Structure formats: structure tokens, C-alpha cells
Structure 1
Amino acid sequence: MSKKNKFLLLNQADDVVVALEQLIGGAPLVNGVTVSGLIPAGHKAAIRPIAQGQAVRRYGQIIGFASKPIAAGQHVHTHNIAIGEFDKDYRFSQDYIAQDKASPQATFQGIVRANGQVATRNYIGILTSVNCSATVARAIADYFRRDIHPEILTPYPNIDGVVALTHGAGCAVDPGGEGLAVLQRTLAGYARHPNFASLLIIGLGCETNQISTLVKTQNLIQDERLHTFNIQDTGGTTKTIAKGIQIIKEMLEPANQVSRVPVPASHIKVGLQCGGSDGYSGITANPVLGAAVDLLVRHGGTAILSETPEIYGAEHLLTCRAVSPQVGQKLVDQIAWWKDYCERNHAALDNNPSAGNKAGGLTTVLEKSLGGVAKAGTTGLMEVYEYAEPVAQSGLVFMNTPGYDPISATGQVAGGANLICFTTGRGSAYGCAPSPSLKLATNTALWNRQQDDMDMNCGSVIDDGVGIEQLGRELFQMILDCASGVRSRSEIHGYGQNEFVPWQLSVIT
């Protein structure tokens, strides 16, 4: 691909081309078709007449239906295309191919825990059972901030930091309901995460999400690595903060006693995210990430695709390469759950794309989903998980999450993701703790504008004709380097504590 063409035809079956720069009226397209009006960069132009009600294709797949007649050369976007229902051929497992493993296997410099888990970072964490204990948790973590009290952590260079991950839930919910169960599963996933050397969980004392119940139902072990207490038992805010600071101080020396050693890349679990997507996402950054995912899977690692509403309409591209029909059906069942979830809440799955997505050239959720699935590469779909469920299967897997990035990534990290790869076309300042996040720009204009937040420019696929496979290899090496301790841009800026957002499913009473 090269910008010298000014537009891109992705598949011979497509009804549209994608503008690689702003196209003006009269500019040539294909087969004698010329542009009518102005077509912004990243947006679509029709290359043949499309009748009202006719399916419109990009990637060789249906992205919507013409809501009015579209002439060849016209801008194709929200004003003349709409979503619609159509039959999909799931072809369960028909394209599944067992993945050959790479030899020799790639390695990275990881931290091996006593239980055999491998970490990519070494944090001390503070979790809260309820929103009411968020303020004290933040106050304790602030005491150890390097930008406020650098002298405290200076003697402990192997500790990446002390972070408080707070949330707005934990009370006024059904104690036996799904919402509380999901919150407890999420908190437990973080409590067990290898990127935490040790943890402190703080509650208020009277909340629905009792710490004692959390520990019991999630089989957590309270020892020198995990401490818990409540504000009401401790005697109020001042005493709680002082107690928390003292407990963290006692954790510092043991947490610092780690070293990085070569470990197989099979210990890497990458959560796949895209946010602020644009018309280039499915052309550059997402396929580049997919190429890196293929390499990671070949080396025994795990990639977690998520954001169920943002694979809606493209799920058939995953079911056909599921390891078994049963795994493929699990994915279809998740789509059905979301349709029911939206219906009973008077919402719709096609409330996507966002305003920013549309400004960047995406028209329907179907188009967004087809580009988003490219993050998953080409290997078999090995398993489908519920939100925040521990991910035990290696290879490409799927986790049911909303499309909202902080909630989605929180579930992935709870499931064991020790690194996040995040593609963006409009721009993102996202970061994640305790797992580092690499952000990939879909276009060079974004890279030039917001390079301070980006780790890789995938716009070179279009601007310079760099091959997707080549950039995929470079990204795979970047993943290994980041897992070995090289800090991402979001880590350098201190992102991560505010992006912990567990999925709230319960009715709040």
C-alpha cells in the first residue's frame, strides 16, 4: 500500500474505496469513475452505483445497506448507509488449522514468582472493596509516589511503584447477584496477578462486598503477600492511612528482592484493544497487531481478543477458525447475550461507532467490527471466556467484555493479561496498571500530532509502503522488550491507576 495511489481498494468484491488523503471532485478512482464532491481522508467513495437497500461491501464483507441510492463517485457514510440484519454463515471450525510452534522459542526477561507465575512488572498494589475506601487507598499510595517523595522508593529500584486501584462499586447491590460476583472475580484476578509482588485490600466495613466473603469465595490466601483490613475496625481515616503506610513499608524490602531472568515468550498474555478507531484502523494498526499476535501464538503465547459489541457482525470470521464447534458456539452465544442485554435495557448494539469513529471514516458497527477483528491475526480461536475469568488456554482466545476500553482491559488484566496492545486512530492517552500498555497509531498524522503518547506509527504502511508482516515483527520485538521492563509511553506519563474500571452489571438500589 502506498499513498501515491490516493485511495485503496481492499477487495475486488468491494463497492467502495478508502481515501488515503482528501479526494476532490473530478479525481479519478477506478474504471472511469471520478469523485463527486469532497471525500475526507479515511472515508469511503462508491466505485459503482448502489441501489437503495443494496448491501455495501468493504473487506469483501457487508458493512451496511444503502439507505438511499448512491451514485458512483459519491461519499459513502452515515448519510446514505445504515446497519441491517443479514444471515451469516458461521462455518464452525471449517477453517481451523493447528498452529506449528516456532523453534527456537523467543524469550524475554521476566520475573518468576514463587508459585511459578511470570511477571512483566513488579508493583505493590492497593485494592478497595468499595468506593467508600477509595480516598484512604489513594492517600496511602500517594505517600509512595516518586514525584512527591522520591527518597522513599529510591532504595528499592526493583519496585515499579505503589498503585491504588479504586472503583465506584461494592455496595447497594444484590449480594447473590451476577454484578457482585463479577466484581469479586475481577478483584480476585488482580489480587492474584503476578505483576503484583504484594497487595493490600481495604474496605469500609459495612459494605455489601465484604472482604471476608471476597477472600472466601475467591479462595484468596491472606499471608505476607496479601493483607486486608477495614476503616471501621481500624478507627477512622487517619489511623487507616497510617496503618496502610506502615504495612506497605514492610512490603518494600521483600518486593525488591527480585531479578529478571530469561523466560519463554509463552508466558506473555497480551490483551488486544482498539479505541478511537478510524478508517485506517482495519488497514494498518489492527493488521500489524494481528501479524504480531500470529508470531506470539507461534511462540506459545496468548492473545486475548475482547470488546464483544465491536466484533458484532464479524463473528463469523472467528467461528470458522474455532478449534471446535463448541468453542465457536460459545462466541455466538455471547453475541446473543448482548442482543438480549441491549434489548432489556432499551439500547442497541448498533449505537457504535462513536462520534470520533465516524469523524475518522467509520460508518457502522459492522465496518468497525470487521476492522477490529484484524487484531486477532489468523490463528485458531482456542477458547471463549467470561469477563475477568482466568485465562488458562494459550493461543488466541476471546473474553466477553463491553467495547469501552477501560472496562474491557480491566477484565483482560483480571484474566491474567500481563501486557496490553492498544491501537488508535483518533488518539488515546490510555495506560494500564499493573500491566504495561503499548499504543499503536493507525496514521502518521496522529503520530506526528500525539507522538508523546504513541509507541509505534503504523501509518508507515500507507505512507512508506512498509509491509504489515515487517511491522508485525517489529511490534513482536517491542512486546518482548516491554515485557522485559522497557517502559511504554503511558508508563512514563504515570497512567494506570484511574483506568481500573470493573464492569458494573448489577441494579444499584
Structure 2
Amino acid sequence: MNTPIELIANPRLAADMGLLVLHPEDNVGTALGAIRAGTSLSVNGGELLCADEIPGGHKVALRTIEADEPVRKYGQIIGFAGRLISKGEHVHVHNVAYREFDRAGQAGTALRETDFVPEDQRATFQGYRRSNGSVGTRNYIGILTSVNCSATAAKLIASRIENSGVLDQYPNVDGVVALTHSSGCGTGGDGNYGFEVLRRTLHGYANHPNFASILVLGLGCEVNQIAGLTTGWSLSPDKSISSMTIQAQGGTKATVAEGVRRIEELLPEINKSQRTTVPASELILAMECGGSDAFSGVTANPALGAAADLLIRHGGTAVFGETTEIYGAEHLLTSRAESQYTADKLMERIRWWEQHVTQDGSSINNNPSPGNKAGGLTTILEKSLGAVAKGGTTNLVDVVEYAEPITAHGLVFMDTPGYDPVNATGMVAGGAQVLAFTTGRGSAFGCKPTPSIKLATNTPLYERMRDDMDVNCGAVADGQLTIEEMGQQIFDLILAVASGQETKSEELGYGDNEFVPWQLSTVL
């Protein structure tokens, strides 16, 4: 038993008893709903008297847990008892401590042979085939800024086009999106790691198949000069790219007018793009979890992992990141690494983060957030075990750095921070054309040009935020669907969205403000 998805008990039985016990070695169970103090539950053939009120998603001790004894969920260590915890007691931050322990995983010990679907039987979707062979799921025009100083002008150009009504004449154009950021000047230039990460991110977006055309807009005097930024860019031959600066154009009004003119001139040609049938092997699925709760690792994340397994069986690629949120569960990935080199790359990034967070006196266990803890997550170890379930059960084929191109087919890990917009920006820059985002607390998110599918981990959240959520994975905890059945539904929806079906986030207009490149440079 090496991954959380394999450890989940029969959800129908769990729903009957009101408590979810995920593994025979667990000494805690998770409340499916609020449990009053004094409630008696039947667990594993015995009686459990709840001494405390247990909020939904929170943990209760299945037996006495001695001080310093490991607390186990998913059959894995999620922390250590800070004091003696009595049977039936609420188990959370007040009596569980985080500490380091040996959890090294040996590369390749849990490898599996992937049961690939024969090529002539693989799923398909309707996508935009670009001349370089890449495939888009959307047909946007993008405005990229070299520096924060050109952000307002970029937004004015996009707004002028979007609000003019001209796009009504071009139904195959999804829109004009200005992707702005807060950097590009006041930092070190060539040779500075953070500066190169910004440029790599911008290149990834410029090269993204969901963009049919790109306008690069600068101020003119910034460190991130457009000439240096775009030198060496290798874009699809059918992608129109132009650039200009506010200073050279003679000011903001002239720049906006010229930007509008250039884009309107391109619209007829871009509108000629047509969707065609392409295999699912062309898809790169980005996987994100944010606003997590205790059900994230029980319902939505393993169900998304099952969908990722299906996509990989059909020849596609699934990528996830948030290195700080697999911390404590990295052994479950290294044991599935196809090579020692891949396992070593993952562990090198883990060690980098251990050093990185100490620079400002932080600790990786400062994560989970207050919202995560309110939802029942106690330590980073528990959060990570749930987060890594997004990776399904297939082998780990590659580890890439932030915003690097994703070229391997199969399961890929990208080194990113845990902050949702920064993580998603890196994966989209890497080439992901669809994103699936699980949430237990109710994250609101979009990431143009890539559509974002929102997966609710529990039914109360789904009912409360129906306008934001695309899928109710709470059906798993409710005993209505298995993980595999939920995974199939998610996979089918991924193909439908890739073919043009709008997500709730797209309907609401999310995605223009969630472009957040990882800022690593010192601001001078």
C-alpha cells in the first residue's frame, strides 16, 4: 500500500457509521459530519464514545494514543501525540505536534506497468491543431507585459477590445486577455535566477497553444527589455507576435490605440481556426488543490488521481506541483519514480525548500493555513498525504523546475510554491491546456488561457457554491460513487472542456488576474 488512493475504505460503509477509517493501522477516524459529545459510534465491531464535539472533517482517536506516539491516517504518520490522547477525544492542533522522522523512499520500489489503451481505441477531443503540432483547447489573443509599468496599458487594450462588441463578429476567438505581473524591473538582469524564471514563464505563455497571437508590451526603460526577453523565442510559425513600448509609441493613449488596431487587424485570420478531432494523448492536465479540507485527500484528490491515471492510460500527461505540499509524502512519489535520477531530482527540490524557508525564519509546517486547519487538517504531513493523492497510481516519469516545458508523457511533478496562483502559472507556462482544481473550503479561481475545472470535496460546499463548482466529489463520501466512478466522470468532463465546454470559472470571468509568476529576485 503506497498511495492514499489505495488506502481508502469502502465509502458506503463509512457513510453508514458516520466515521471514515482509511486504513487498518490508523488510530484516528475522520468525522463525515459534526458529531456531538457523548455520541456512541460502532467502529470495527466495537463501540467508540466521542468524549468531545467533533466538527465535520476533523479527527477522533479510535483508541488511546500515548504521548509521543505517532498519529496515523492513511496508514501513514501525520504527526505525534503532544500528550496522552484518550479514546474518543478530538485529535487536532491542540494535541498533535509536527516533527521530523525518517521517511526515505527507495526509487522504483512501487513501480507499476501502465495498462495503455491501444492507440486506435484512445479517447479524443476537439482541439485547435497549431502548425508546430501542438494542440490548443482555447483560441485566445494574449497581451504579455515585460514589466509592471505596462500593466495598465495592457489592460486598457484588452478592455477596449472586449467591450467594443467587435468580438461578436468572430465566434472562434475566445477573447483578448492581458496577463500582467508585478516585476520586470528593480531586479538583477541576465544571470539572476529569479529574472530568468520570469522570462521562462513569459516564454511559456507566449508559446502556449491556447494563444493564437501574442502582443508583448513594455514601458521602454525596464531591466526586462523586450529585445532580450523575446530573443530565442521559438513559437509556432502560425502564431502572430508583435511588440511595442509605451515610450516609443508616445504615451499611453497612443499605445492603447495602436494595440487595439493591431489586434483588430488580426481577428479575421485568427477566427479562421477550427477545432478538429485530436487524441487525448495531446493533453497536458494541470492538477491543483487549494482551500483544502480533510475531505480533499478522501474524495476529490484521489478521484482526480483516478482521472489522471485514465488520461495517462490514453497516452496523455498529468502534472502537479506545490513542493511544500507534498512534504512528508515525498516517499510515496520517489517509490514510484521510473529512475533513480528522477527520484533524486525530486529530493533535491525538497532539500532546496528546507533551506529556502529558513531564510526568513519560516518553517514548512507553517502550512497548513488557518482555513485548512478549520477544515480538519492538522499538520503539513496530513495535508501532503491528501495532496499527493492527485498523482494517482501511475509511475513518476519526470521532475521539472518551475515553468519548464513539460515534454514527457505520463505523470510529471513540477517544483512550485504552494500558493495557488503561482503554482498554476508555472504549470500553464509548462504547457498545460486544462487545469483541474480541487477545493474543500471554496477557492475561487481561473487561469486564462487555460480553463479551470473546480472540484468540490464535499457536498455542503458544492450546494453552497454551485455557481463556482463544476463537480461534486462529495458524492464519494456520501456513498453514492466510488473513487473510480468519480474519476471517470472527471475524465469525461476534462475531454468536454478541452473541446470547448465552458467551466464555471470561465462563465464567471475568472482568469485575467491569476497570472502570478514566482518572484524569486531581490527587489533593489
Same fold, TM exceeding 0.5?
A: yes
Q: 2:482 aligns with which of 458, 467, 491?
A: 467
For 1:384 and 1:28, how far apart are their aligned partners in 2?
Answer: 47
Residues 444, 207 of structure 1: alpha-carbon distance in 2 compared, 3 angstrom cutoff: same
For 1:459 and 1:32, how far apart are their aligned partners in 2?
Answer: 26
For 1:224 and 1:279, how far apart are their aligned partners in 2?
Answer: 44
Aligned letter for 1:473?
A: Q
Q: 2:494 aligns with which of 476, 479, 486?
A: 479
Pairwise mapping of residues 143-292 of structure 1 onto structure 2 (< 5 A)?
Answer: 143-145=160-162, 148-150=163-165, 152-175=166-189, 176-219=191-234, 225-292=240-307
Instruction: Give SS of 1:33's match.
Output: strand
For 2:233 and 2:64, how far apart are their aligned partners in 1?
Answer: 58
Structure 1 unaligned regions, length at least 5: none
Partner of 1:141: 158
Q: 2:64 aligns with which of 49, 53, 56?
A: 49
Pairwise mapping of residues 435-474 of structure 1 onto structure 2 (< 5 A)?
Answer: 435-474=450-489
- Matched-pair identity in %: 54
- 8 Å contact 1:215–1:221 — kept in the other structure? no
For 2:471 and 2:484, how far apart are their aligned partners in 1?
Answer: 14
Aligned: 1:377 with 2:392: yes
Instruction: Give SS of 2:466's match.
Output: helix
* Deviation readout 1:459-507 (Å, 9 max, x if unpaired): 1112143111011111100000000000100001111010000000011
* Deviation readout 1:203-234 (Å, 9 max, x if unpaired): 00111111111111545699971101111111
For 1:89 and 1:432, how far apart are their aligned partners in 2?
Answer: 35
Compute the TM-score of the two structures, normalised by the length of structure 2: 0.95
Residues 128, 75 of structure 1: alpha-carbon distance in 2 compared, 3 angstrom cutoff: same
- 8 Å contact 1:184–1:218 — kept in the other structure? no
For 2:313 and 2:260, how far apart are their aligned partners in 1?
Answer: 44
Pairwise mapping of residues 357-368 of structure 1 onto structure 2 (< 5 A)?
Answer: 357-368=372-383
Instruction: Give SS of 1:49's match.
Output: coil
Pairwise mapping of residues 290-305 of structure 1 onto structure 2 (< 5 A)?
Answer: 290-305=305-320
Q: Once superposed, what is the RMSD of the aligned Cα atoms?
A: 1.2
Q: 1:8 aligns with which of 1, 10, 20?
A: 20
Runs of 4+ more than 4 Å apart: 217-224
Count of paired positions: 506
Q: 1:108 aligns with which of 125, 128, 144?
A: 125
Compute the TM-score of the two structures, normalised by the length of structure 1: 0.98
Instruction: Give SS of 2:169's match.
Output: coil
Q: 1:28 aligns with which of 40, 43, 59?
A: 40
Residues 220, 257 of structure 1: alpha-carbon distance in 2 compared, 3 angstrom cutoff: closer
Instruction: Give SS of 1:448's match.
Output: helix
Partner of 2:354: 339
Q: Which moved more, 1:281-290 or 1:31-40?
A: 31-40
For 1:219 and 1:477, how far apart are their aligned partners in 2?
Answer: 33
- 8 Å contact 2:178–2:512 — kept in the other structure? yes
Instruction: Give SS of 2:141's match.
Output: strand
For 2:260 and 2:238, how far apart are their aligned partners in 1?
Answer: 17
Instruction: Give SS of 2:48's match.
Output: coil
Alpha-carbon distance, 1:98 to partner? 3.0
- 8 Å contact 1:313–1:370 — kept in the other structure? yes
Aligned: 1:489 with 2:501: no
